[in-house]
Structure 1
Amino acid sequence: MGENQRTLLGKQPVRILMLDFSPPFTVEVGEDVCDTLENLFSLACNLSGPSRIPFFSLMVLNNYPEVLLPFSYVRNNYQRIQIALSEVRSLIQDCTGNRPTPCYYQGLAEACSQYRRQLQSSFQGGTFHQLEILVVTCQRPHTVQKQVETALTTLDTENLKRIQLLCISNVGVLSLDDIGNSQSSASSENSSNNSVTNTGLVEVINLEPDVLCLQNIFSGWLVDSGTDSEHLHLILPPVLDSNVPLVVKCDLHERVLQPAQLPFYNQFTLHCDSSAMKMVFPSTSKAMGMSVPIYKLQITGLVPLTTICDSLVFGMPMIAQPTSCWKIDWDDLEKNQQLFKSFCHTLSIKEQAAIAHSLPSDNITKSRTGHHPSLQPSGHFVLVPSSNCTLLVKSIAVQELMLPYSAGNQEEEVDQEFVDIVAESLDQLEITDTYNPLNYSSNLYESLKNIGKKPVSQRQQKRPLDENTTVYTNKMVTTKSNKQPKRTSVVEISPQHDIEPADTPLGKRLLNKTAGKTPRRMLYTASHNKFLPEDASAPEQSANVQTFRSGGTMKTKTPVSFPTSL
């Protein structure tokens, strides 16, 4: 792969989830975890494109580790994952009355050995070469972390990326000791890392028993975790004392999943021309005969304009204005225009935007999977008013499409030296009062015109007369086989002729080109004597005598003469 390319989702790790049922693990926590996993894999199994979760395994830590789902492909494997989660629910009910002891060492050893076995058989050429383990427990973070780090000292961690300890706190009634230990776990984490492993493989996450918090953790599995290459280059003008452009390298992070990769893309976007948005129609007649639904948006709330984050808005923006349908009665049409203008005017005065969700269409079409859906998702939209009494309608993200994002540490001070360099580069750019799209071109027209156009081949130039000429002759060619020699066509190149003056007679030219031999053409261009008297043709017979060489002997042949009268 070239240095200007990068692998898409090529470093996604293999993940295994370990559930610790030891107290104070409750049925409610187990149900929340199972519901979150079902929601996650319903997305991961139906997302088109490269697999974001290539392999997944599920293990339960009871008195001994029990593998409910060995490493399996996630794509098109939702039913098998759902069966494994249903087994987890039944095991939770059985373990509530017991008090199983956690077996972290046995579980980690089984996970590593299972990964090594699968690495030698199933994984594709070492593409997914790292293992990531997530342990969900309700134990004290400090206690779990110490046991895990102790187990890592005797295990092979070559292909281990990290171990996340998801410690769910505030389950039931905690004692003061539990609260103190939970608060001190963060401070003791660094000291224990330095003293035991010094590798930074263990990461402790304290979490409340909430479905949204769990979803934020598990949705991180859908994010591209590759760090082998940067994603974006920002090229700025060079600084005055250098001719090299100033390049700023960036990474791109998805904020929202692309609904176009899901079966129900039409429910999250609005289209004026076609709800199906087919890239290629089967025929022109069928494309013109398509019918599209009339969208219905239910206004559900208002939000201030300043609180809408642009990273949550996606899709093609549409402009809404009062309808001019001629089928509507004139009075109703005028009333509708006044209602629309009043709605826009009120939102503009209050500096608010309206939030709406789509209502199901009366004509339910088949989904991309071919099944007739009995339940369709409901996309959400934001309606932004403008000063000319129109509405800007844009799709906005919802809970299921959100991806976690961490902005990092923003408290670090910026070095003034680099600030001066960037400011000097930006001073060379032109400042415009507003963005006018008519002043910017993308060369789309020229690119579209060039589609399917074949390069014009150069015509073969006519060779000059003095160039070597290819002559096809029949010669006897003998091969190494025992067969009789065959007469085949062999290509020979005649020698190059001398340049002749323009006034050279035709007969002399023919003699020069045939190396002095009488060409066959002379038999037809020479004057024939059969129509001349015998006396008159006699002097010319000697001149017209043709000499032929046949079988090594010279033979002469005189043209036949005819009598003058019959």
Structure 2
Amino acid sequence: MSGRNRSCASASQVCCASSFARQPPRVLIVDVSLPWWSETYSVLCEALENFLSLASSLEGPSRVPLLSLYAVNVQQECLLPFVQVKGNLMRLHSCVEELRSLPVEGCTRPRVELLKQAVLDSLHQYKHYIRHVAPGNNLSSGSVEVTVLSSQPGRAVLRQLEQGLKDSDLVSLRRLVVVHITVERNFPETEPALSPEQCFAEGLDQPEEDMMLGAEIDLQQVENSVVAMENVLKAWLHDQAGEKEHLQLFLPAPGQTPVCIKCDLQERLVSPALLPGTPDLGAKTESVRDFQPHSKSVSNQSSVPQRLQVIKALQAEGLCQSVLYGLPLLIRPTTCWQIDWDEMESNQQTFHALCHTIRTRDWFLLVRSEPQFGSGCSVASYYILQASGSLSLLLKPVLTRELMLPCNLPVSNEDPPLNALTVVEVSYALSLSVSLSHTHTHTHTLTQIFTQ
């Protein structure tokens, strides 16, 4: 057996050892203005409860190191000063209960200036936390990300925040995201309330040259559903490092320099091995150790992108799923801010062409990891790349021949006996009817699961 084929690392080991080292503290500002709050509070609180149950229970590096939460109506209120998320479920749960208990009846005039004050207060609170509460705490990110949840027209809210914050000290603000929760506009007319049309028009009246912030800004629109709101929050669990591309994909070019595509890695799933109480049903392919450096030398190499070499194109129908293992990762064109715009555009076009080619030809690409220079290791791992409908590739580790065990299972071309077939079909029909009836009567949130 050659040294090149002796080992196959798990999919998570492709990520840098310093993954999740630059996760920013989070500030969540919730606009609880009436009457919109009455339409969104139950959905938002359930989504927030589910997310915090997951984030606070994950083992391994903290993906949301600190969280602060504000509620804004006729005044701003800090329901949760900066606290550590990991292992702090009871404190987070009580904050959600306090948010859920806020009034849901009546009608008030939205005051966008209070959202601005909440942003500034959160930045001041973070400076105070670093200076007094946790002095010497080596937080890798010196700035926070602020997310504003509101049912007011998001474009108008964002522009008014830009206008109100343009002369403020925003050194501690890394990113500002306004999330517009869409709800049906069938509320009764009330004189003190500011209509959505008026609010939107006020936002559009601001001159474009005044719309400037030193931080990155973003506007998102989501429907008023638990799943949609959870997806907004679970985006916080992604690795936020962006100083360097995660890997370089080399395409063979006979007689020429190989084509290099710079890519980023993104998780598609949270490894079940990171959840407490995961049953041991056999050998695991992911563990907490996959996210931690094994030695100082490995840590020093964490900034070096992983190199993957395409060695063969395979027909998709000829690949057996039994040779794949571990959790999948998504590969997409890099968004590293250190790459200039021309190179980034060219890189994305080449990546798009690669996705289009292997998807239209129904190919899988077999790729091999190249050992990092100076690592003293000649062992390579192998992976399969599969194109998707979006601008991304699916990466899954694949076993080599030396690690495969013999599997001589009988193949039957005969139909099973009629009596056995009848028993199974009746059981299947019964289980299907039971599962459909239970779908609407039995729902267990993550909070219930983790607090039992």
Q: Deviations over 1:414-444 (max 9, x none)?
A: 979x97xx99xx9xxxxxx9999xxx99699
Alignment of 1:280-291 (within 5 A): none
d(CA) in 2 for partners of 1:154, 1:222: 32
Offset of residue 209 of structure 1: 1.2
User: Counterpart of 2:143?
Assistant: 130
Q: In structure 2, what is the equivalent of residue 540 of structure 1?
A: none
- Residue 196 of structure 1, CA deviation: 2.6
* 1:140 counterpart residue number: 153
Shift of 1:24: 3.0
Q: Is the 8 A contact 1:23 1:139 kept in 2?
A: no
The 3 A distance-change label for structure 1 pair 182 and 258 is: farther
1:37 aligns to what SS in structure 2? Answer: helix
Partner of 1:206: 221
- Equivalent positions of 1:326-345 (< 5 A) are none
Q: Note if contact 2:66-2:83 (Cα within 8 Å) is conserved in structure 1.
A: yes
Shift of 1:178: 6.4
Does the 8 A contact of 2:29 with 2:115 survive in 1?
no
Determine which of 21, 36, 46 is the counterpart of 1:10.
21
Which shifted more, 117-126 or 103-112? 117-126
1:67 paired residue number: 78
Structure 1 CA distance for aligned equivalents of residues 237 and 36 of structure 2: 27
Q: Quick one: structure 1 residues 117 and 220, their matched pair in 2 at CA, closer, same or farther if it must change by over 3 Å?
A: same
Alignment of 1:48 onto 2:59? yes
Listed as ranges, the matches of 1:62-101 within 5 Å are: 62-90=73-101, 92-93=102-103, 96-97=105-106, 99=108, 101=110
Q: What's the Cα RMSD here?
A: 4.8
Look up the SS of the partner of 1:257 in the other structure. Answer: coil
Helix, strand or coil at the partner of 1:45: helix
Identity %: 26
Q: What letter matches 2:63 in structure 1?
A: R
Tell me if structure 2 keeps the 8 A contact 1:239–1:246: no
| Runs of 5+ unmatched residues, structure 1 | 267-273, 280-385, 409-413, 427-432, 449-566
Letter in structure 1 aligned against 2:226: V
Task: State the number of aligned residues.
Answer: 302
**Matched residue SS, 2:267:** coil
Q: Which has the higher helix share?
A: 2
Match of 1:229 in 2: 244
Give the CA deviation at 1:98.
Answer: 5.7
| Cα displacement (A) at 1:96 | 2.5
Secondary structure at the counterpart of residue 147 of structure 1: helix
In the TM superposition, what whole-angstrom CA distance separates every residue of 1:76-95 from its partner, at most 9, and x where no partner exists? Answer: 001100011111111x23x5
Match of 2:130 in 1: 119
- Aligned counterpart, 1:108: 119
1:51 maps to a residue whose letter is S
Is 1:215 the equivalent of 2:224?
no
Name which one, 1 or 2, has greater alpha-carbon Rg.
1
What are the residue-to-residue correspondences of 1:204-283 with 2, within 5 Å?
204-237=219-252, 240=255, 245-266=258-279, 275=281, 277=283
Q: 1:264 to 1:183 in 2, by over 3 A?
A: farther
User: Which amino acid is the alignment partner of residue 85 of structure 1?
Assistant: V
2:164 match: 151
The gaps in structure 2 that reach 5 residues or longer are 1-14, 286-316, 336-344, 358-362, 367-378, 383-398, 404-452
Deviation at 1:204? 2.2
Give the residue type in structure 1 aligned to 2:281: S
| Matching residue's letter, 2:129 | Q
Give the deviation of 1:277 after TM superposition: 4.4
Structure 2 vs 1, CA of residues 47 and 183 (structure 1 numbering), >3 Å: closer, same or farther? Answer: same
Q: Is the 8 A contact 1:13 1:131 kept in 2?
A: yes
Is 1:197 the counterpart of 2:212? The answer is: yes
Residue identity in the other structure for 1:134: T
More relative contact order in 1 or in 2 (CA 8 Å, sep 6+)?
2
Aligned equivalents of 2:45, 2:323: Cα separation in 1: 36
Is the alpha carbon distance of 1:406 and 1:88 closer, same or farther for their aligned partners in structure 2, counting shifts above 3 Å? farther
Instruction: Call closer, same or farther: CA 1:201–1:193 in 2, change over 3 Å.
Output: farther
How far, CA to CA, are the matches of 1:442 and 1:105 in structure 2? 50
Distance 1:73 1:126 in 2: 12
Structure 1 position 22 matched with structure 2 position 22: no
Q: Offset of 1:207 from its aligned partner? A: 2.3
**When the two structures are superposed, what TM-score results if normalisation uses the length of structure 1?**
0.45
2:264, 2:333 within 8 Å by CA — same for their partners in 1? no
Q: Tell me how far 1:50 sits from its aligned partner.
A: 0.7
